[in-house]
Amino acid sequence: MKDELKSVLMAEMTWPEYAAALKDNPVVFLPTGALEQHGPHLPMGVDHLLPTAIARDIAEEVGGVVAAPVTYGYKSMTRSAGGPFFPGSTGLDGQTLSHIVRDIIRELVRHGARRICVLDGNYENLWFLNEGIDLAMREVGPTGLRVMCLQHWEFLTEETLGQVFPEGYPGIELEHAAVLETALMMHYYPQLVRFDLVPDNDAAAAPCYDVWPPRRDWVAPEGSLISAKGASPEKGALIAGQYRRDITAAVKREFYELG
Amino acid sequence: MKDELKSVLMAEMTWPEYAAALKDNPVVFLPTGALEQHGPHLPMGVDHLLPTAIARDIAEEVGGVVAAPVTYGYKSMTRSAGGPFFPGSTGLDGQTLSHIVRDIIRELVRHGARRICVLDGNYENLWFLNEGIDLAMREVGPTGLRVMCLQHWEFLTEETLGQVFPEGYPGIELEHAAVLETALMMHYYPQLVRFDLVPDNDAAAAPCYDVWPPRRDWVAPEGSLISAKGASPEKGALIAGQYRRDITAAVKREFYELG
Amino acid sequence: MKDELKSVLMAEMTWPEYAAALKDNPVVFLPTGALEQHGPHLPMGVDHLLPTAIARDIAEEVGGVVAAPVTYGYKSMTRSAGGPFFPGSTGLDGQTLSHIVRDIIRELVRHGARRICVLDGNYENLWFLNEGIDLAMREVGPTGLRVMCLQHWEFLTEETLGQVFPEGYPGIELEHAAVLETALMMHYYPQLVRFDLVPDNDAAAAPCYDVWPPRRDWVAPEGSLISAKGASPEKGALIAGQYRRDITAAVKREFYELG
Amino acid sequence: MKDELKSVLMAEMTWPEYAAALKDNPVVFLPTGALEQHGPHLPMGVDHLLPTAIARDIAEEVGGVVAAPVTYGYKSMTRSAGGPFFPGSTGLDGQTLSHIVRDIIRELVRHGARRICVLDGNYENLWFLNEGIDLAMREVGPTGLRVMCLQHWEFLTEETLGQVFPEGYPGIELEHAAVLETALMMHYYPQLVRFDLVPDNDAAAAPCYDVWPPRRDWVAPEGSLISAKGASPEKGALIAGQYRRDITAAVKREFYELG
Amino acid sequence: MKDELKSVLMAEMTWPEYAAALKDNPVVFLPTGALEQHGPHLPMGVDHLLPTAIARDIAEEVGGVVAAPVTYGYKSMTRSAGGPFFPGSTGLDGQTLSHIVRDIIRELVRHGARRICVLDGNYENLWFLNEGIDLAMREVGPTGLRVMCLQHWEFLTEETLGQVFPEGYPGIELEHAAVLETALMMHYYPQLVRFDLVPDNDAAAAPCYDVWPPRRDWVAPEGSLISAKGASPEKGALIAGQYRRDITAAVKREFYELG
Amino acid sequence: MKDELKSVLMAEMTWPEYAAALKDNPVVFLPTGALEQHGPHLPMGVDHLLPTAIARDIAEEVGGVVAAPVTYGYKSMTRSAGGPFFPGSTGLDGQTLSHIVRDIIRELVRHGARRICVLDGNYENLWFLNEGIDLAMREVGPTGLRVMCLQHWEFLTEETLGQVFPEGYPGIELEHAAVLETALMMHYYPQLVRFDLVPDNDAAAAPCYDVWPPRRDWVAPEGSLISAKGASPEKGALIAGQYRRDITAAVKREFYELG
């Protein structure tokens, strides 16, 4: 019907389109995220919205396909995302998340996919993704499958950080609902950002360990770990551009160059 | 920032907006679906796209909130959705799906929600949703929680079916990627439908039982169980309208009138 | 010792008898059921007693073997079997039932069986049986195993229903502890039926969805969804005879003719 | 309809009969067993047939109820039951068995039962029954529930053994498909015993540990660990009578006298 | 650095030392135990300390390697170890223990080990070890792996028992924190035994079944099932010497002689 | 018997000693670690040996108790510990580790403990520890339990790092079997360190993501991520001293001061 339907998103593709794409053994991206508070200015879907958008960018670069995002992720921890103090943070048990990833990879492999890139947007997910991938690798056996798992902020370069934080980078551990995520949302989903509501909160000051029950005073009332005032769409575009270059390069290296 | 941001979708709401909504003990809808082949003319996300759209309609009627959709569902069975013969159908194990639902309900209850409506769009999901809800009920204990679980097509009335199928309703067991889903997609997501590619296939003729390994000849090559030629946006609007009336009425009855 | 010992029931066979039977690669039937209320006139074992009897009939026709019945099944749902309101309904969690079926199939395959027919008598079991079979298929790998899964009432023909319900078939959704099961019990296990206690209750009138906690008024006080007054041993014999013909034909077709 | 219907077997009772019985807080017996080789002369259901019969005896003495038997049990070990060398031995994974017991107890407690006696007939089951009971105790919480778990042969007295084995008791570790089980089967289910086929095999001579893969020469070709030639219906009656006295006494003591 | 570092304990070996040892396909011993009360005179680690020491002895004899001990085991039962009445008994769920064993075996096999001996020191562990081994065997497939599982006291000979118990052996069912374990601890870990605190308690007198909740009066206040007064380091050395001979012989037979 | 028996290690305490200690509601430390390659110079038990030693230090400071260490941990990842390339690294599945922690906490709480500190020595363990703690918190309910979870290196101060790495700290991501762990082992377990075998390898240079199957060239042949040449017992004592001060302070603050 329409040309704009030529999507790289599996959820928008028909099965014959996907079947055609599989012939080239494309990289299939699996965006994983969360439904989780992101301060008073960002929507709670940030952690699955961003990796979906980033995966789409990279998929366009490498001729890949983007599977439907995993919209729920592991439980928010107080130090990194505010913990259980904010209604809306909706976490899965670790095993549930690992099994989601294991099951999806098993099925993608059954379809014929052999290059899978899990692209994550929720810090707390990582080890349960790792475990799900490991369980899948063990289960599918020697098929030639290669899997890559990344969290996008790990690709940020000194150069990008220098431009985004001209007064100094406060560190990734504070970057929840802060400048980086806000800038990326302003770039990819401007209509979902309420920039006027960005809080001017101080940096959170949590210790180097966790406690249960969690302590409310480890995180600002607003839920963002540090103010996002410094964000702008231009900075978002800058970061997205660097991702597009560098994640693409890594994906190409792992799946095509190193074999 | 913008007024159109007043979304009922949790993934697009900020946590303070959600917290404010929770004060009225709203119905929280959980759309559940699948990533699964839907013939050559519909995108593979139909089963989570439709319940999300329907849930949004009902949520607007009853002042509810729509949680992020569960984008993956139970494995496609040959008789009802074509089985494993179509690349793209990406099924979870039963326990994985049950645990997703259990975990999400546990968290919604922790937020304060006490009225939850699981609105499903993938036939094969039902019993694993039931199980997930039962596990959650057992776990959360006596909180006053009420849960409703429905599959939208169960609400179709004789009258609607008479209008949609003037030459006679072939039966729900053939309605995969067929007239009902196609019409609803044309209504809600017209840009994702390739109506020119609707196949003219005969009705599938599967027996009344299942076999493993499944048999390829139980389903048409195209993947739709019967032709969707009779679909139209108008019929989609008709169905959506009836859903809006009747599902709303059922939701109100269960959560507000019967108490 | 005795000739009547030539049973088709595994639980009554010695291992050398079973070993001898396995040489012909027979169909091994696995009756699955429940321990669940069936109104004031039927015993709570109906759902495993009937499939065991039916499986014995079919096994005699096709030279098969009947494994010990799975005597417990999935939890009763209010709409289909009265739910949790009747002491005696003793349901397993979904995963437990799936694992029972997976484990038994794994073991039958280890014995050498390659033709397995799961013959179910409890409506709520179906999807957890499907899942157990799928898990077993995945686990045993390429062994040539074929599995068939059926619920006996799916084989009822229009002709049989016409004879059993001369005043019109009220529909399978009401047939719990009603005419069909009562007639079959009168045929197979007459000593276990208290026909004088058949209630004269009205048809249950449940909506098209489920709720938790369940509603007591969705099901008659007696537990049968509609009166079984119309049952008779003759009707039971009629149904059993049709099953014997048609299920046998399907079993032969799937395991012997289609290969 | 008939008086002989006054069964103590739940599977043969109607729900109102069971509901009436529950009013007195009766002991509910759960027979657990296996489908497993028992030599060339005994049927493979011995391990669930015997505890069902014994439980019925005790239930009649104490006004109890007998739930449907769990017909499958834990995997046969070579030293105690011949291991995987005999087609027909159909073992469940340990967790599956534990979950069956947990689920059934949870449901019996929901019915109102507070006195439950798991009566086992398969040596290998014990620890998975223990675990299932422990999981259920933890889950149901402080309800006043008491559970007893026994394996019938543990009640054999010196006196009984002296009468059954006038030439000396070879020890319980050889009593699989041997004199005790054969005599009990001749007493309870004479039509299922092929006494003419009792093998004259030597005693098995396994070491005091287990190995995987198991060794075939640890068990006689026939599958019985020692000859059952010495069995007779009279000895079976003797054992059954002692059980009836002593298990009844223990059940009364635990559930009624000690409180 | 030092010669005494030539340990057989994996936890004290470097990986190149272990890699070198693996070249000879050595027996890898896995000591399994518990953290559990052992009366007022023995430390709570007895059940993992003893099998570690015994395994080291045998490993030295056969050129084997001893993996790190599994320091926690299955839940204490009242009849065999005092049950939940003694603070310190710290039991794992059955599945947890089975999975520990399964996972470790899977990894040892991945390293190249093909001869594994699980050497247990906690009576209650046995069946969950069996299950873990069985799950691992199923998972690793046809690798030539052989596994042996033993509980050390099963190797005690009549002769040893005669010397240790000159006044008669009260039976293994009372030997918790009693003469055998105390003597072995005095031999292997004298500094951890408080012999002056050995209680003079009577033998426990539990029946032949289990109950939940457990009964406090089935076990002496001190936690040892019978007095350990008769223990001595010499008796410990005697037992350890017999183990060293006889377990070594069994290990050699199973792994080297029978092939 | 002996005074030096006054251990803080539960495995070396008798149950009455532990019971006496519990009266003061002490902090119970649970050391968690791994059995994993640590280069050619360190034993494979480093990750459970170190947290056990550190926990003993802190327990002495705060009057605490140290539970038996969990000797196995999560699977080694290539970037942080060399991955599957080194025989000896013996990883548990994530769920197994979470369940171990959940089970142990459940039991400690049953003993009466309400202050539990999980002290970890294996980087890869963290999230599965978090999950196990969360599962336990949910299960034990409102008991007043507080749990703290820490990885010791997180407490290293700038000052300590400055003294240990006079030429600059290469970063925690390279500190596997490197200066910090080697120094601590030289301090706590000098007899287990083969300092002469410390390799002079270059720093590993892995990218910022993971791949499956892992790449061998991401880690040096020796298994340590960077050379440990700079380690010394004095530096180990320095670190241990700082831990003793600062971890003690954090433990006191969380369990005693903040309440």
For D56-103, write each residue's pLDDT tens digit: 999 999 999 999 999 999 999 999 999 999 999 999 999 999 999 999
Mark yes or no for CB contact E43/F12 under 8 Å: yes
- Name chain D contacts of C12, Cβ cutoff 8 Å: 43-45, 192
Q: What is the pTM of this model?
A: 0.97
Mark yes or no for CB contact A48/B41 under 8 Å: no
Mark yes or no for CB contact F108/E92 under 8 Å: no
Residue B34 reports pLDDT greater than 90: yes
Helix (H) or strand (E) holding E192: none
**Contact present, F206 and F183 (Cβ < 8 Å):** no
Task: Name the residue facing D99 among C1, C18, C96 (closest C-beta).
Answer: C96
**Closest by Cα among E124, E36, E34 to E80:** E124
pLDDT at position F217 = 93
Residue D3 reports pLDDT greater than 60: no
Mark yes or no for CB contact F14/E197 under 8 Å: yes
Mutate to test the interface with B, among A12, A46, A71 (most CBs of B within 10 A): A71
Q: pLDDT by residue (tens digit) across B141-161?
A: 999 999 999 999 999 999 999
**Contact present, D151 and D175 (Cβ < 8 Å):** no
pLDDT at position D202 = 83
Task: Name the residue facing B98 among C94, C130, C137 (closest C-beta).
Answer: C94
Domain E3-252: assigned CATH number: 3.40.50.10310
Whether the ipTM is more than 0.95: the answer is yes
Distance CA C75, CA C72 (A): 9
Distance CA E126, CA C69 (A): 30
Is it true that the peptide bond before B213 is cis, omega within 30 degrees of 0? Answer: yes
D211, closest residue in chain E (CA to CA): E148
Query: What is the per-residue DSSP string for A82-128?
Result: -GGGSTT--PBPHHHHHHHHHHHHHHHHHHT--EEEEEE--GGGHHH
- Name chain A contacts of F99, Cβ cutoff 8 Å: none
pLDDT at position B2 = 45
Mark yes or no for CB contact A211/F134 under 8 Å: no
Task: Name the residue facing D86 among C13, C15, C71 (closest C-beta).
Answer: C15
- Name chain D contacts of C39, Cβ cutoff 8 Å: 14-15
**Contact present, C126 and C47 (Cβ < 8 Å):** no
Cite the beta strand spans of chain F per DSSP E: 27-32, 65-66, 115-120, 146-151, 210-212
Question: Closest Cα of chain A to B14: distance in Å?
Answer: 4
Question: Which amino acid does the sequence have at C47?
Answer: D
Dig out the tokens for A46 from the structure.
């940030």
pLDDT at position E3 = 47
- Name chain F contacts of A254, Cβ cutoff 8 Å: 211
Tell me the β-bridge partners of C30. Answer: C118
Residue C225 reports pLDDT greater than 90: no
Query: What is the per-residue DSSP string for B62-97?
Result: HT-EEPPPB---BPPPHHHH-GGGSTT--PBPHHHH
**Closest by Cα among D58, D19, D62, D26 to D146:** D26
CA dist list (Å): B54 to B31, B147, B247, C111: 9, 18, 9, 50
Task: Name the residue facing F10 among E10, E35, E195 (closest C-beta).
Answer: E35
Mark yes or no for CB contact F87/E48 under 8 Å: no
- In the complex, which subunits touch E with 3 or more CB pairs below 8 angstroms? D, F
Average pLDDT, whole number, for chain D?
Answer: 95
pLDDT at position F117 = 98
Give me the sign of the Cα torsion angle F9, F10, F12, F16.
positive
Distance CA C114, CA C254 (A): 12
Residues 6 or more apart in contact with residue A18 via CB below 8 angstroms: A10, A65, A111, B44, B87, B88
Average pLDDT over residues E71-92: 96
Question: Which amino acid does the sequence have at F180?
Answer: L
| Beta pairing, strands C115-120 & C146-151 | parallel
Boundaries of every domain in chain E? 3-252
Mutate to test the interface with F, among E44, E52, E224 (most CBs of F within 10 A): E44
According to DSSP, residue B203 is labeled: P
Average pLDDT, whole number, for chain E?
Answer: 95
CA dist list (Å): B70 to B182, C209, D36, D163, D197: 21, 19, 43, 67, 60
pLDDT at position C66 = 98
Residue F92, SS3? strand
CB pairs under 8 A between B and C: 95
Q: pLDDT by residue (tens digit) across C178-195?
A: 999 999 999 999 999 999
Residue E143 reports pLDDT greater than 80: yes
Average pLDDT over residues E125-133: 98
- Name chain A contacts of B114, Cβ cutoff 8 Å: none
- Name chain F contacts of E112, Cβ cutoff 8 Å: 87
Q: State CA D120 to chain mean position distance.
A: 3
Dig out the tokens for C193 from the structure.
């039926």
Residue D259 reports pLDDT greater than 80: no
Mark yes or no for CB contact E254/D211 under 8 Å: yes
A70, closest residue in chain B (CA to CA): B71
Residue F32 backbone dihedrals phi, psi, to 5 degrees: -125, 145
**Closest by Cα among B144, B149, B78, B152 to B114:** B144
Q: pLDDT by residue (tens digit) across C73-130?
A: 999 999 999 999 999 999 999 999 999 999 999 999 999 999 999 999 999 999 999 9
Dig out the tokens for C74 from the structure.
């999935």
Tell me the β-bridge partners of C147. Answer: B212, C116
Question: Closest Cα of chain B to A105: distance in Å?
Answer: 9
Q: State CA A162 to chain mean position distance.
A: 22
Residue D22 reports pLDDT greater than 90: yes
Q: What percent of chain E has pLDDT over 90?
A: 91
Mark yes or no for CB contact F35/E10 under 8 Å: yes
| Torsion (CA) C104, C107, C112, C118 in degrees, nearest 10 | 10
**Interface of chain F against chain A, CB under 8 Å?**
74-75, 77, 93-95, 98, 124, 126-128, 130-131, 133-135, 137, 145-151, 154-155, 207-213, 215, 250, 254, 258
Distance CA F239, CA F245 (A): 10
| Beta pairing, strands C27-32 & C65-66 | parallel
- Name chain C contacts of B250, Cβ cutoff 8 Å: 207, 209
Distance CA A161, CA A157 (A): 6
Distance CA C88, CA D28 (A): 11
CA dist list (Å): F47 to A134, D230, F72, F84: 22, 60, 9, 16
Question: Closest Cα of chain F to E69: distance in Å?
Answer: 7
- In the complex, which subunits touch B with 3 or more CB pairs below 8 angstroms? A, C
Distance CA D13, CA C255 (A): 37
Which parts of chain A register pLDDT below 50?
A: 1-5
**Closest by Cα among C229, C49, C236 to C160:** C236
E246, closest residue in chain D (CA to CA): D208
Mutate to test the interface with A, among F122, F128, F131 (most CBs of A within 10 A): F131
Chain E meets chain F (3+ C-beta pairs below 8 A):
yes
Q: pLDDT by residue (tens digit) across D124-155?
A: 999 999 999 999 999 999 999 999 999 999 99
- Name chain B contacts of A71, Cβ cutoff 8 Å: 11, 68-71
- Name chain C contacts of B93, Cβ cutoff 8 Å: 131, 135
Average pLDDT over residues F87-92: 98
**Closest by Cα among E87, E164, E89, E158 to E123:** E89
When mean pLDDT is compared across B2-16, D134-148, F143-157, the lowest value belongs to B2-16
Question: Closest Cα of chain D to E132: distance in Å?
Answer: 9
Mutate to test the interface with E, among F15, F35, F194, F219 (most CBs of E within 10 A): F15
**Contact present, B236 and B243 (Cβ < 8 Å):** no
**Contact present, F166 and F160 (Cβ < 8 Å):** no
Q: Which residues of D1-18 are buried (b: 16+ CB within 10 A; e: fewer)?
A: eeeeeebbbbbbbbbbbb
Task: Name the residue facing C155 among B133, B208, B215 (closest C-beta).
Answer: B208
HEC letters along chain C: CCHHHCCCEHHHCCHHHHHHHHCCCCEEEEEECCCCCECCCECCCHHHHHHHHHHHHHHHHHCCEECCCECCCECCCHHHHCHHHCCCCCCECHHHHHHHHHHHHHHHHHHCCCEEEEEECCHHHHHHHHHHHHHHHHHHCCCCCEEEEEEHHHHCCHHHHHHHCCCCCCCHHHCCCCHHHHHHHHHHCHHHCCHHHCCCCCCCCCCCCEEECCCHHHCCCCCCCCCCCCCCHHHHHHHHHHHHHHHHHHHHHHHHHCC
CB pairs under 8 A between A and B: 194
Average pLDDT, whole number, for chain B?
Answer: 95
Residue D144, SS3? coil
Quote the crossing angle between the two packed helices A126-140 and F94-111, to the nearest 10°: 130
Q: What percent of chain F has pLDDT over 70?
A: 98
Residues 6 or more apart in contact with residue A259 via CB below 8 angstroms: none
Residue B117, SS3? strand
Residue F3 reports pLDDT greater than 80: no
pLDDT at position F205 = 82
Dig out the tokens for A172 from the structure.
């990734």
Distance CA C218, CA C211 (A): 11
Query: Is residue D1 very low, low, confident or very high in pLDDT (cuts 50, 70, 90)?
Result: very low
Residue B41 reports pLDDT greater than 80: yes
Residue D173 reports pLDDT greater than 90: no
Question: Closest Cα of chain B to A110: distance in Å?
Answer: 8
Q: pLDDT by residue (tens digit) across B109-127?
A: 999 999 999 999 999 999 9
| Site of tokens 């030293």 | D79
**Contact present, A165 and A179 (Cβ < 8 Å):** yes
Mark yes or no for CB contact A154/F210 under 8 Å: no
Question: Which amino acid does the sequence have at D168?
Answer: G
**Contact present, E72 and F70 (Cβ < 8 Å):** yes
**Interface of chain C against chain B, CB under 8 Å?**
74-75, 77, 93-95, 98, 124, 126-128, 130-131, 133-135, 137, 145-151, 154-155, 207-213, 215, 250, 254, 258
Mark yes or no for CB contact E213/D148 under 8 Å: no
Average pLDDT over residues D112-132: 98
Average pLDDT over residues B178-185: 97
Q: pLDDT by residue (tens digit) across E25-63?
A: 999 999 999 999 999 999 999 999 999 999 999 999 999
Mark yes or no for CB contact C150/B258 under 8 Å: no
Mark yes or no for CB contact F103/E84 under 8 Å: no
Q: State CA F112 to chain mean position distance.
A: 24
Residues 6 or more apart in contact with residue C173 via CB below 8 angstroms: C79, C80, C225
Residue B174, SS3? helix
Distance CA C147, CA C101 (A): 11
Average pLDDT over residues E64-71: 98
pLDDT at position C27 = 98
